[in-house]
Structure 1
Amino acid sequence: METETIFLRDVMETMRTLDQNGRAVPFSISFRTLNRQSKTGGKLKEYPEAKLVIKEENKNTDSIASLRYHKKQVKIRRRPNHWDNKTRNIKLPNGDIKKILINHIITFNGKKVVY
């Protein structure tokens, strides 16, 4: 019984792909949790449908309605430094955003991840 494998760099590339409308493509993922400060975790989390949080193209950003109703106060946030911390943010179908460590990904789209 042979299982399919995928390299981590291919996982990262597949996560970043966009469909023809400029939206993130959904994927299934499972990974282990870890709290680096308390050194606890190890729970297996599985999300059958998630998307990478990226700046998606929005063709209606310059429309009159969006300019009229969507004037929001800009929040100044800290840079997440995903590259240095080896993390990514994923969005779940219910709208929740979760931060994952890419080195703890177990499976991606049903394939075992190889480092």
Structure 2
Amino acid sequence: MAEETIYLKEVLEIMRTPNSEGKAVKFDISVRTFNRNSKTGGALNSYENAKLVMKEKGMDKDSIYALQHFKKPKTPKIRKNPQHFENKTRNIRLENGEVKKIHIRYIISFNGKKVIY
């Protein structure tokens, strides 16, 4: 039986397309880890019901975007631009609210389909 496949370009498009309510879509994803400095990693992490961190319509005050942009700290904090496009990374939010940075080239499967380039 042939395994279903999906192209990385399609994966990225599905991740960033909001649903009919203007919210980020949920997906299941498996990603390999790798540390370029120490040349270690290779562990396979699987995340269920993850979402791409993005601006959503009708967000509540506790959403990631609202916490980053609307609450002003007493002392201004300078944030570095993550340059996701150049670094080929994306931030995903897990069900428990934790945010993980993933490298798009290390995505192994997306919604049960094998990712190909």
- The TM-score normalised by the length of structure 2 is 0.84
Distance 1:94-1:60 versus aligned 2 partners, 3 A rule:
closer
**Cα distance in 2 for residues equivalent to 1:47 and 1:16:** 17
Highest Rg: 1 or 2?
1
Shift of 1:71: 4.3
Shift of 1:59: 6.2
Matching residue within 100, 110, 113 for 2:112: 110
Identify unmatched segments of 5+ residues in structure 2: 62-69
Amino acid of the residue matched to residue 72 of structure 1?
K
Distance 1:32-1:60 versus aligned 2 partners, 3 A rule:
closer
Aligned residue pairs: how many?
107
Q: Percent identity?
A: 58
2:55 matched residue in structure 1? 55
Matching residue within 72, 90, 93 for 1:91: 93
Shift of 1:58: 2.8
- The TM-score normalised by the length of structure 1 is 0.86
Shift of 1:60: 6.9
Amino acid of the residue matched to residue 5 of structure 1?
T
Identify unmatched segments of 5+ residues in structure 1: 62-69
Q: What are the within-5 Å matches in structure 2 for residues 1-115 of structure 1?
A: 1-58=1-58, 71-73=71-73, 75-115=77-117
